[in-house]
Amino acid sequence: MQKDASKDLAPLITAVTDYADREGAGAGPWPTVIDGLSLIRSRQPTILEPCCYQPIFCLVLQGAKKACFGDAVVTFSAGQSLIVSHDVVLNSRIVEASPAAPYAALALALDTALLRELVREIRTEPTSSDTNGRTIAAGRTPPEIEDAMARLFALTDRPEATAILAPLIKREIHYWLLTAEHGSMVRLLARSESHASRIAKAIALIRRDITAPLKVAALADAAGMSPSSFHAHFKSITQMAPLQFQKQLRLLEARRLIYGGKLSVSEVAFAVGYESPTQFSRDYSRRFGVSPSRDTVPATSATVAAA
């Protein structure tokens, strides 16, 4: 099945490869001229790295990648796609790539407002799988989505048509995602009163300012839940308690700043909300296995991943 999927995707693989070569795309997520659409290409497997995934749909064109989220391990390869419904911190690595056949994928940011608009229009009803509470899922990509993603990417060569056609194709893709076999959590996210949607609101508040002191009671109130219910649902979706989630975001942002090479370790610590550079260094070393003063940019690194 994978062989057939790769053959069907061959024209899109060629187009993405040509675009990446033309634009000088590196190993990390590379934004295209289409808002919200990125490409990922790597000529070699990568090491397992922590990263923050934002709500996203990723179509794998060639190669394979593995994501570890809590106790779940999800592998997705050519012809398959990954859906991530919330901002989550996980570990991922490219497991299949070579100079002759690089890992290649297209990633489209999910538009929650558009999903909710479509749900109101098509009046979809929850299915039994909608109660699974999954945050990431991979599965076979429907041909309708493959076709729409190909047409969306084709607009990178037609800038004069992008403003008119890109919103229409994105709308079509979001519609198909709501009906996809591995899109149950997208359907939940699209319902404003679901637990998934409420936790997404709380996550947005945390991400708005990761340096601010975290008040779990205030987040629970914003989500319209009791503190105990909020904590349980937050951990179910992110695999972390709220304070742990914020710490992971701080450390990932710190690593980005460390890689930038413009700030001292103490300056980075204060920039991400730590009051003690010593505590920051301990947490950083525990998370990444190396002290911030000795960390260096790996050949393929991305603290915010597209997929």
Per-residue H/E/C for 58-87: EEEEECEEEEEECCEEEEEECCEEEEECCC
List all residues 6 or more positions away from 82 whose beta carbon is below 8 Å from its beta carbon: 56, 57, 58, 60, 65, 67, 74, 76, 136, 137, 138, 307
Q: What is the average pLDDT value for the chain, to the nearest integer?
A: 89
- Is residue 307 one of the residues assigned to a domain? no
The confidence score (pLDDT) of residue 103 equals: 95
Domain of residue 286, CATH code: 1.10.10.60
Closest CA to 106 of 85, 80, 86: 80
pLDDT over threshold 80, residue 6: no
Are residues 185 and 67 located together in one domain of the fold? yes
Domain of residue 102, CATH code: 2.60.120.280
- Is residue 305 one of the residues assigned to a domain? no
Are residues 208 and 83 located together in one domain of the fold? no
Long-range contacts of 126-132 (CB under 8 A, 24+ apart): 126/187, 126/188, 126/191, 127/184, 127/187, 129/184, 130/184, 130/185, 130/187, 130/188, 132/184, 132/185
- Is residue 145 one of the residues assigned to a domain? yes
Are residues 137 and 26 located together in one domain of the fold? yes
- Is residue 234 one of the residues assigned to a domain? yes
- Taking residues 190-200, report their average pLDDT: 88
The confidence score (pLDDT) of residue 70 equals: 87
Instruction: Read off the pLDDT of residues 224-245 as tens digits, 9 standing for 90 and up.
Output: 999 999 999 999 999 999 999 9
Are residues 110 and 83 located together in one domain of the fold? yes
Q: Confidence class of residue 4 from pLDDT cuts 50, 70 and 90? A: very low
Are residues 139 and 206 located together in one domain of the fold? no
Q: How far is CA 171 from CA 141, 228, 305, in A?
A: 17, 37, 23
Q: Confidence class of residue 133 from pLDDT cuts 50, 70 and 90? A: low
Are residues 175 and 46 located together in one domain of the fold? yes
Residue 101, classed as helix, strand or coil, is coil
Instruction: Order across the sheet with 136-140: list the strands.
Output: 30-31, 37-42, 103-109, 56-62, 80-84, 136-140
Are residues 232 and 219 located together in one domain of the fold? yes
Q: Exposed, middle or buried, 63 (CB in 10 Å: 0-12/13-18/19+)?
A: buried
More confident residue, 67 or 304: 67
The confidence score (pLDDT) of residue 184 equals: 79
Are residues 180 and 219 located together in one domain of the fold? no
Which of 165, 189, 213 is the last residue before a domain boundary?
A: 189
Are residues 200 and 85 located together in one domain of the fold? no
* Sole residue written with tokens 């996203």: 56
Are residues 224 and 101 located together in one domain of the fold? no
Instruction: Read off the pLDDT of residues 20-56 as tens digits, 9 standing for 90 and up.
Output: 999 888 777 899 999 999 999 999 999 999 999 999 9
Q: Which domain holds residue 248?
A: 244-294
Are residues 256 and 269 located together in one domain of the fold? yes
- The helix (H) or strand (E) run that includes residue 139 is strand 136-140
- Is residue 42 one of the residues assigned to a domain? yes
Instruction: Read off the pLDDT of residues 135-163 as tens digits, 9 standing for 90 and up.
Output: 898 989 999 999 999 999 999 999 899 99
- The helix (H) or strand (E) run that includes residue 207 is helix 195-208
Q: How far is CA 137 from CA 58, 253, 301, in A?
A: 11, 25, 23
Are residues 207 and 250 located together in one domain of the fold? no
- Is residue 299 one of the residues assigned to a domain? no
30 DSSP β-pair partners: 39
DSSP letter at 294 equals: T
The confidence score (pLDDT) of residue 131 equals: 42
Which of 221, 241, 261 is the last residue before a domain boundary?
A: 241
Instruction: Read off the pLDDT of residues 86-119 as tens digits, 9 standing for 90 and up.
Output: 999 999 999 999 999 999 999 999 999 999 999 8
The confidence score (pLDDT) of residue 221 equals: 96
Lowest mean pLDDT, pick from 2-6, 124-128, 157-161: 2-6
Instruction: Read off the pLDDT of residues 196-222 as tens digits, 9 standing for 90 and up.
Output: 999 999 999 999 999 999 999 999 999
The confidence score (pLDDT) of residue 83 equals: 92
The confidence score (pLDDT) of residue 181 equals: 76
Number of domains in the chain: 3
Which of 207, 225, 241 is the last residue before a domain boundary?
A: 241
- Is residue 301 one of the residues assigned to a domain? no
- Is residue 302 one of the residues assigned to a domain? no
